[in-house]
Structure formats: C-alpha cells, structure tokens
Amino acid sequence: MSQLKLRYFDFHGGRAEPARLAFHIGGIAFEDDRFAFSEFAEVRKSTPFGQVPTLEVDGVQVTQSDAITRYAGKLAGLYPTDPYQALLCDEVLAAVEDVTIKLSATFGLTGEALKEARLALVKGPLSTYLRWMQAQLQAHGGEYFADQRLTVADLKVFVHVRGLNSGNLDHVPNDLVASVAPLLNAHMQRVAATPSIARYYGSPAA
C-alpha cells in the first residue's frame, strides 16, 4: 500500500474534504496533514502553484483537487468503472469545481464589495448550479449522481451543500439550498447517514 499524505487547511470542508471522506469510507490509511490558515503563506511555498490540497504518494507530490478526489475514489471503490458512469461522475465533479471557483473569487473582498459579489452569486451562478445538480440527481434515479450508488460525485456535492448551509458565508442565505434545490438537502442527509461519515463528523479529532 502506498504511503499517502493529504495536506490542507484544518477545517471541515473545502477542496480536500471529499478525498478525506473517501479515504475514511474506504478504510484507506493516510496522513491527514492539516494546518492553520495563518500557516498558509509558508505552506504554499512548497507547492508548485501556491495552492492546496496536495497529496503525496510515496513522497511524490500531486496537485489538483479533483484529480486527488478521483484517485481517492478509485482506491476506496467510490469511482465508477463503467466509462459512461465515470463521465457522469466527472461532470458533477467539474460543475461543483466551477461554482467553487466563482465563490472563491469573493474571498478577500470586504464590506459592500463582498456583499455585492455574494448577492450576485446567489441570484446567478449559485442558484443556477444548484438547480442543475438537483436536475441531475433526479435524472439519475433521485438518490445518487452516478452508478446508482455512492461515488465521489456525491461526496463533492455533499461538501458543497454542507458549506452553503453552514451560515459561515456572509451574504449567502443558509436556506438557499432549501429554497432552490431542496432535494440536495435530502441527498446531503442521506450521505451524512453513511456510517463512516457519521463517525468522521462525530469524532472530536476529525
């Protein structure tokens, strides 16, 4: 078994969380190397693009969160082997990443500039992508996004919806998902009930 070291900020959420969850679900041993936001300026010096997460596989550093999530999914048996189902899974991963990039662009803004940018996102892209995700979920059976089972696509949507519902994003109503794509909340609760995920969030060390 390869030695795995996943490096990311010390909080529940963000771009490393789907991979963390996949490793936990699959019982894959890995070093969960977390650091404080205050340490990021130093950490980023050791990454090729100044970004995290990174994954070390036997000492070799790999970047790009969706690539890492997909790899974790394959190790954990949470990525489709059928090419078409893999395509559906990848489509969802890429869509959530698209909207995450739009949201990330607002970090660093303050005051009226932040409010304006976030409200524009709520009225535009955030709602558009949430409605699309709900439609995809319904189109593929209503419970999972691909392969009729839990995959990393579900984990990525789960983390995204959980973040939107948290109330931690200024000017993003925590009932946004409930108002525009309520089936995604039911999906979030279904994923959260997965025993290893329930244990992960129930553990003080998680």
**DSSP per position, 104-122:** HTTBTB-HHHHHHHHHHHI
Domain containing 103: what range?
A: 83-194
Q: The CATH number of the domain where 12 resides is what?
A: 3.40.30.10
**Are 92 and 71 contained in the same domain?**
no
Which contacts (CB < 8 Å, 24+ apart) does range 138-141 have? Answer: 138/183, 140/88
Token pair of 199, please?
A: 């244990």
Q: What is the pLDDT of residue 206?
A: 44
Around Cβ 194, how many Cβ atoms within 10 Å?
17
At 155-174, the pLDDT tens digits run 999 999 999 999 999 999 99
Mean pLDDT, the chain, rounded, equals 96
- Residue 179 pairs in a beta bridge with none
The single-letter DSSP state of residue 96 is H
Phi, then psi, of 88 in degrees rounded to 5 = -60, -40
Rounded distance between C-alpha atoms, residue 90 and residue 88, angstroms: 5
Number of domains in the chain: 2
Q: Read off the amino acid at residue 202.
A: G
pLDDT in tens, 73-92: 999 999 999 999 999 999 99
Last residue of a domain, one of 78, 98, 114: 78
pLDDT of residue 204: 46
Whole-prediction pTM: 0.95
